[in-house]
Amino acid sequence: MNIIDELSWRGAVNQMTDEEGLRKLTEEKSISLYCGVDPTGDSMHIGHLIPFMMLKRFALAGHHPYVLIGGGTGVIGDPSGRKTERQLQTIEKIHENAEKLKAQFMHLFGETAEISFVNNYDWLRQIDLLNFLRDYGKLFSVNTMLAKEVVSSRLEAGISFTEFSYQILQSIDFEHLFMHNDVQVQIGGADQWGNITAGIDTIRKMHGSDAMAFGLTIPLMLKADGTKFGKTAGGAVWLDPDKTSPFEFYQFWLNQDDADVVKYLKYFTFLGQEEIASLAEAVQNEPEKRLAQRRLAEEVTAFVHSPAALQEAQNITDALYHGSIADLSEHELEQAFGKMPTVDVANEENNVVDWLVGSTIYKSKRQAREDITNGAVTINGVKVVSLDETVRPHKNSNGKYIIVRKGKKKYTLARVQR
């Protein structure tokens, strides 16, 4: 199947500047293409992941993707999707973020000949003001720039010349890669259409109207209910495991709605049409089994983190579902309970009733005794069966944690102070 056909089947195409020309180009030869991300933060979230998974699909089809980290454009910041001016960061912070993003990409895609990494700071920093205005500024009509949605949407509130000039810098990127790396296609989100077409116009003004340059954007990702994809009660779902643990990441995908899961299988996995069709059938006929959600969670977690991280996430999920956390490792305990209600307790052994009240998990000894007698209290995955038991840290926590469960689902993490 042609790569354009595959992307269309996956619902991953919003707009193309020349579908027929791009299809013909990808059938005739191996092409080079790119997608960029600005290091305005130190981690990508899952919304960033979609276009870069498209790059991976091109690589699997025999083409050569470039990942562009915007160490130069990140100094300004893309005004797309914003209502107000961006708070600028220091050059040092941008460079620090760029290194972290590159490490994420290296983890996702590996350091292979299939995918190349570039940073636009390397060429943008070499352009002085006069040459910028003379060589590039003359190519851009202010009237055309004002008509771009990314700018026109900001005119009422106001936009600085700094952010107004962003599309010129991104156009320079496309032209630079076109000339020096034979890159002919730029991929981006739906909000990047204006920037991408500006880059194509720049290439054709500088290299002739027949220059073979193309643009492709992905659709805005919305859930079936029309709300924005990729947010949870705790905020964005990050690719950095320190911001969103692999367990939380796995749970995010596992809990997707039946109305969305097949779409996400097409977007976020490399599964083929036949397997996805089978999972779609399972959603219709056996939704209670959640086979599609489980497969989605497995594929994306293993890709973004690792098979080992997936196994940990599954261990935690199984332990919490069955209420048995006694065999979880220290790292698994931290993932499972790190964001649950937490109390600090002294580093001393104590009678269970006294400890439960002293730790403020229970307000009264009467209620603690009653719940223990009714079998409603577990500590470290083991049901408390006697009022005379002594509380000790979880056996795998290196003396750090005590995990209390009241009833079926109410957990508290007690951190032992040393």
d(C-alpha 23, C-alpha 4), whole Å = 6
User: Which long-range CB contacts under 8 A does 253-259 form with residues at least 24 apart?
Assistant: 253/293, 253/296, 253/297, 253/300, 253/301, 254/290, 254/293, 254/294, 254/296, 254/297, 254/317, 255/293, 256/293, 256/296, 257/223, 257/224, 258/283, 258/287, 258/292, 259/223, 259/224, 259/225
Q: For the chain, give the percent of residues with pLDDT over 90.
A: 53
Residues 63 and 9 in one domain: yes
Task: With beta carbons less than 8 A apart as the criterion, state whether 108 and 114 touch.
Answer: no
Residues 210 and 261 in one domain: no
Model pLDDT, residue 409: 76
Question: Is the pLDDT confidence value at 187 over 70?
Answer: yes
d(C-alpha 8, C-alpha 194), whole Å = 21
Place of tokens 């209420």: 323
Angle at 322 between CA 316 and CA 327, to 5 degrees: 50
What are the tokens at 276? 């996805």
The domain that holds 69 is classified in CATH as 3.40.50.620
Question: Is the pLDDT confidence value at 231 over 70?
Answer: no
Residues 306 and 195 in one domain: no
Model pLDDT, residue 227: 77
Q: Is 231 marked as a binding-site residue?
A: yes
Task: With beta carbons less than 8 A apart as the criterion, state whether 412 and 349 touch.
Answer: no
Residues 213 and 284 in one domain: no
Query: What's the domain range around 407?
Result: 342-416
Angstrom CA distances, 195 to 28, 90, 185, 212, 224, stand at 27, 24, 13, 17, 28
Residue 236's pLDDT band, with cuts at 50, 70 and 90, is confident
Residues 110 and 205 in one domain: yes
d(C-alpha 332, C-alpha 315), whole Å = 8
Inside any domain, residue 225: no
Helices (H) and strands (E) in the chain, counts: 19, 15
Total count of domains within the chain? 3
Q: Is 166 marked as a binding-site residue?
A: yes
Residue 226's pLDDT band, with cuts at 50, 70 and 90, is confident
Please tell me which residue, 31 or 407, carries the higher pLDDT value.
31
pLDDT digits (tens, 9 = 90+) for 292-346: 999 999 999 999 999 999 999 999 988 888 767 888 888 898 888 887 888 998 8
- DSSP notation for 14-62: SEES-HHHHHHHHHHS--EEEEEE--SSSS-BHHHHHHHHHHHHHHHTT
pLDDT digits (tens, 9 = 90+) for 249-293: 999 999 999 999 999 999 999 999 999 999 999 999 999 999 999
Q: Is 251 marked as a binding-site residue?
A: no
- Domain end: 277, 292, 322, which one? 322
Cβ neighbours for 372, distance < 8 A, ≥ 6 positions apart: 352, 353, 384, 385, 386, 387
Inside any domain, residue 35: yes
Q: In the predicted model, what is the mean pLDDT of residues 23-37?
A: 93
Q: For the chain, give the percent of residues with pLDDT over 70.
A: 98
Nearest CA-CA partner of 414 in 396, 391, 390 = 391
Residues 18 and 162 in one domain: yes
Model pLDDT, residue 81: 67
Model pLDDT, residue 370: 92
Cβ neighbours for 219, distance < 8 A, ≥ 6 positions apart: 11, 12, 13, 14, 190
Model pLDDT, residue 111: 63
**Which of 49-58, 142-151, 166-175, 325-334 ranks highest by mean pLDDT?**
166-175
